Structure 1
Amino acid sequence: MLSYTASLRRLTALWGSKMAAATIMSLVRQGHRQMSCMPCFGQGRSYYVDWRMLRDVKRRKMAFEYADQRLRLDALRKNKILPKELQEVASQEIAALPRDSCPVRIRNRCVLTSRPRGVVWRWRLSRIVFRHLADHAQLSGVQRAMW
């Protein structure tokens, strides 16, 4: 089992938000296992919730690896000053890149349930999990609207 700080660093690197990582780690540390919004599929041996999340993480890594190359080729392809032959070569090279290197194929998912729709972007949680955690005062700085 990883230490708390190592887990927090790993989650922060993966999610990009220190607040979300700290919230999730505090839930794990406190032993909150009674949350009804957590899925219970098969064995709990994987770091990711399900295969869809793993596929999305692989796509994110590949898009990051090919981002510079894709940006340069796209600039050549869209530049109308350059000759048509050069633009066509750039188009062919973009088509030869791996399909998963395209950032359009990346889907925002909930980090707890892997739900693809209704994701609250700042916390990377689905609306259902977000409301559950917010109602039980487990998200710092989040409260119900009162006026």
Structure 2
Amino acid sequence: MNINSTSNLGKFVWKSQSVPGYGFQQVRNKWANWMMVRDVKRRRMSAENFLERTRINALRKNDVLPLEIRELADKEINKFEFNATPLRIHDRCAVTSRPRGNVLEWRLSRIVWRHLADYNKISGVQRAMWG
């Protein structure tokens, strides 16, 4: 399957800077822990199978098509590995691999995000001031 296809989501998941280990690595280690390794594996598999999987799902959910074609698509969808499903991707911090309290726009945990924002390391973030 060609990864350089025209799909926007496939491009984002595969070539984005927010996917750790693809062109940009962390300073201390390549991965924070084993859960991050598993998450990156799921993101890559999901990106590789994105186009074919969405086509088969469209056939499965189409009410206009005959029942035989929909049943064939149901059997065909099972050929993908379980980790290739986009629902298996869990939002984790790209630095610490923390699963909870993430700021989704930057894909960082609230703790890391706050630390970087305090030292002006995040573009477009300004500290609130009252006076």
TM tier, smaller: 0.7 to 0.9
Counterpart of 2:45, as a letter, is M
* Relative contact order, higher structure (CA 8 A, sep 6+): 1
Unaligned stretches of 5+ in structure 1? 1-11, 29-43
Match of 1:15 in 2: 18
Residue 13 of structure 1 and its aligned partner are, at CA, apart by: 4.4
Match of 1:113 in 2: 96
2:73 aligned with 1:70: no
- Normalising by structure 1, what TM-score? 0.67
Classify 1:141/1:82 alpha carbon distance in 2 versus 1 (closer, same or farther; 3 Å).
closer
Classify 1:141/1:76 alpha carbon distance in 2 versus 1 (closer, same or farther; 3 Å).
closer
Percent of matched pairs sharing the same residue? 51
1:41-52 map, 5 Å: 46-52=29-35
Residue 122 of structure 1 and its aligned partner are, at CA, apart by: 1.9
2:100 aligned with 1:100: no
Unaligned stretches of 5+ in structure 2? 1-14
Classify 1:119/1:144 alpha carbon distance in 2 versus 1 (closer, same or farther; 3 Å).
same
Runs of 4+ in 1 over 6 A off after TM superposition: none
More helix per residue: 1 or 2?
Answer: 1
> How far apart, in 1, do the equivalents of 2:84 and 2:100 lie?
22
- Normalising by structure 2, what TM-score? 0.74
Please identify the structure whose Cα radius of gyration is greater. 1
2:70 aligned with 1:87: yes
> How far apart, in 1, do the equivalents of 2:106 and 2:47 lie?
21
Counterpart of 1:145, as a letter, is A
Aligned residue-pair number: 112
For the aligned residue pairs, the C-alpha RMSD in angstroms reads 2.3
**1:15-53 deviations in Å (ceiling 9; x for gaps):** 17xxxx7xx98xx6xxxxxxxxxxxxxxx5x41111111
Residue aligned with 1:112, SS:
coil
Residue 96 of structure 1 and its aligned partner are, at CA, apart by: 2.4
